């Protein structure tokens, strides 16, 4: 099994660092992005995979376990502080990131294995050049809508 340093997430964040020319803050926590309260009422900050303050950008790498049930990760027989199993909690927290990050003026980019060179099981093949090309497109700032030229007045 690969170590965290060899994980697909670490690989993707490293490529994003290259594309953006800035090193990410990994597993960063914002004081406004919180998980559900535990038994004692304490809420823990939800980490983001990578945050580039200079770009006001958050990247969340979502492997297949974010979209498909995986008993090893989901632990369906054990409930979390949210009152649901881990797979359901992951979906709740992903949705929270999807709304809260943009609501706080940051751009959120979600990267999935299918966005890069991956096999059918969602494992990245790590074709460095092809993945860099894909990430340059994915991370490109959205085009700004230009104001329509004023038409003739009557």
Predicted confidence (pLDDT) per residue in 81-92, tens digit: 555 556 677 788
Residue with tokens 């990245």: 124
Instruction: State pLDDT tens for residues 122-141.
Output: 889 999 999 999 999 999 98
Q: What SS3 class is residue 31?
A: strand
Cβ–Cβ under 8 Å, residues 131 and 124: yes
| Phi and psi torsions of 61, nearest 5° | -90, 120
pLDDT at residue 73 is higher than 80: no
Instruction: Tell me the domains of the chain and their CATH numbers.
Output: 4-139 (3.40.960)
């Amino acid at each position: 099994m690969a170590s965290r340093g060899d994980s697909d997430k670490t690989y993707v964040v490293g490529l994003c660092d290259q594309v953006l020319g800035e090193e990410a803050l990994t597993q960063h926590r914002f004081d406004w992005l919180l998980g559900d309260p535990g038994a004692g009422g304490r809420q823990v900050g939800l980490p983001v995979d990578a945050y580039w303050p200079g770009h006001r950008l958050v990247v969340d790498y979502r492997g297949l376990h974010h979209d498909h049930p995986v008993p090893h990760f989901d632990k369906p027989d054990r409930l979390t502080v949210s009152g649901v199993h881990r797979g359901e909690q992951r979906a709740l927290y992903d949705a929270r990131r999807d709304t809260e990050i943009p609501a706080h003026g940051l751009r959120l980019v979600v990267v999935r294995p299918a966005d890069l060179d991956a096999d059918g099981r969602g494992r990245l093949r790590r074709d460095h050049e092809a993945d860099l090309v894909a990430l340059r497109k994915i991370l490109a700032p959205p085009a700004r809508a230009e104001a329509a030229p004023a038409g003739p007045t009557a």
